[in-house]
Structure 1
Amino acid sequence: MTGIPDQLHRAFFKTFSLLAPGVQGALLRRYFDWWHRRPDPWSLATDSSEHHKYLATLDQVSAGAYPRMLEVGCSEGVFTELLAQAHPAAEITGIDISGRALERARRRTERYRSRVRFARADILEHEEHARFDLVFCAETLYYLGRHDRLRRASARLRSLTAPSGVLVLVHPWPEAELLHGFTDSDQTFSKISERVEANVVRPFAVSVYRNNQAALETGPSSMSSGWTS
């Protein structure tokens, strides 16, 4: 989807945020299971622009070891598979609201089953207590609608990112300015990089943040060390 149809698609889901979070989540689960009645409904595995976005996202992440990774909104596991290939030592968790999508994600990543797992979860309600060294959240936040839901999602992403860990947000541009704004204003995070591709079929932004919680807790002297790859 591009242009006006894409905008109408996202505007439609904003109306769901007028409902209570639990009701909103239940409707989204039913919708996305219906949407995934056929494989790869967004052509994520075959669309060249999606592949370009995936590679741009991976390219923005500084080289290094990330033992535990989380992908929020993993759908059918196309990007999860790329992550597993790019980081052969990492344990990866993918969450999505659609059980049907997750069934296909498990089949797609079968060869990595010893270190890739999936869970059906809503980012607003997810009760995962683990913290991750690298967290991805792509093409997900605009489904949440109202600012209070975006603020809540930002806080949840913060709680899932380990101290000194990295959070990567990927959303359509210029809408990403709003969707990433709550993380931009969160003093726990510092933005390390941002890549905006405005002259492509589906403009997007990749924003990368570091969780500075450990430095904040130990005082200003720790903050001076900055980002290291």
Structure 2
Amino acid sequence: MSSSLPQSYFDDIYRASDDPWQFATSDYERDKYQATLAALPNERYANVFEIGCSIGVLSAMLAQRCDRLLAVDASELPLRQARQRLAELPQVSVQQMSIPAQFPDDQFDLILLSEVGYYLTIDDLRRAQQLMHEHLQPGGHLLLVHWTPFVPDYPLTGDQVHEVFLEQTVGAQPMWQHLTGQRAEQYRLDLFSRQ
């Protein structure tokens, strides 16, 4: 596929359903969220960037573990629900943002890329990776979580996304240190720290 999935792709999906992937109700999502939070080495983070927050279900859980959380999504439509869900959490900011074309000018000690990387082409993913590296504090954590089955619409698979980051853990000047990885039946999780 020659281009990353556009904002209009997600707008169409959210026009058809308020919660198209059942983030709020599915056992798969609940179990994955628990594994995601359990994988975080620090009990608390100062400044967190969540790429692809959708309707904010995981954001509400992450907010309990951080002083500041910037939660973004490419489509404005799910962010309406996210803002309602997160309204009582003053440490959370919700913004419409398309990565890698847009990226916050801030430094984070945790970046979460969950169920988003495979929407990008390999070139856009590598650009996003460079931006994440530049905006993550040394020693800060990057957590990737992605669905692994093949989806015809997506430029990449979840495994391909994770392999792009694992490639940068070796060599004379690695970007990342791979701290841990785990694979469930339909998703994988990899935790990195910035070198």
Please say whether Structure 1 and Structure 2 have the same fold, judged by a TM-score greater than 0.5.
yes
Separation in 2, partners of 1:127, 1:208? 21
Residue matched to 2:47: 68
2:166 to 168, 173, 184: 184
Residue matched to 1:133: 109
1:122 to 70, 80, 98: 98
Instruction: Please report how far the alpha carbon of residue 41 of structure 1 lies from its aligned counterpart in structure 2 after TM superposition.
Output: 1.5
Residue matched to 2:141: 166
Taking only the aligned residue pairs, the percentage that are identical comes to: 29
Residue matched to 1:195: 182
Deviations 1:147-190 (A, max 9, x none): 22221222122123221110000112374332112211221210
- What are the ranges of 5 or more consecutive residues in structure 2 without an aligned counterpart? 150-156, 169-173
Question: Secondary structure at the residue paired with 1:39?
Answer: coil
Separation in 2, partners of 1:151, 1:197? 25
Deviations 1:13-49 (A, max 9, x none): xx3xx24xxxx56xx2122122112311111100011
Q: Is the Cα contact below 8 Å between 2:50 and 2:72 reproduced in 1?
A: yes
Residue matched to 1:30: 8
Q: Is the Cα contact below 8 Å between 1:70 and 1:94 reproduced in 2?
A: yes
Q: How does 1:17-166 map to 2 (within 5 A)?
A: 18-19=2-3, 24=4, 28-37=6-15, 38-85=17-64, 87=65, 89-112=66-89, 114-145=90-121, 147-166=122-141
Q: Which has the higher strand share?
A: 2
Q: Is the Cα contact below 8 Å between 2:109 and 2:136 reproduced in 1?
A: yes
2:83 alignment partner AA: R
Which entry has the higher C-alpha Rg, 1 or 2? Answer: 1
Q: Which has the higher helix share?
A: 1
Residue matched to 2:192: 209
What do you get for the CA RMSD once the two structures are aligned?
Answer: 1.6
Separation in 1, partners of 2:10, 2:158? 22
TM-score, length-scaled by structure 2: 0.87
Q: Is the Cα contact below 8 Å between 1:123 and 1:156 reproduced in 2?
A: no
Separation in 2, partners of 1:59, 1:123? 26
Figure out how many residues of one structure are paired with residues of the other and give that number. 182
Deviations 1:85-116 (A, max 9, x none): 3x1x521000110101111100011110x210
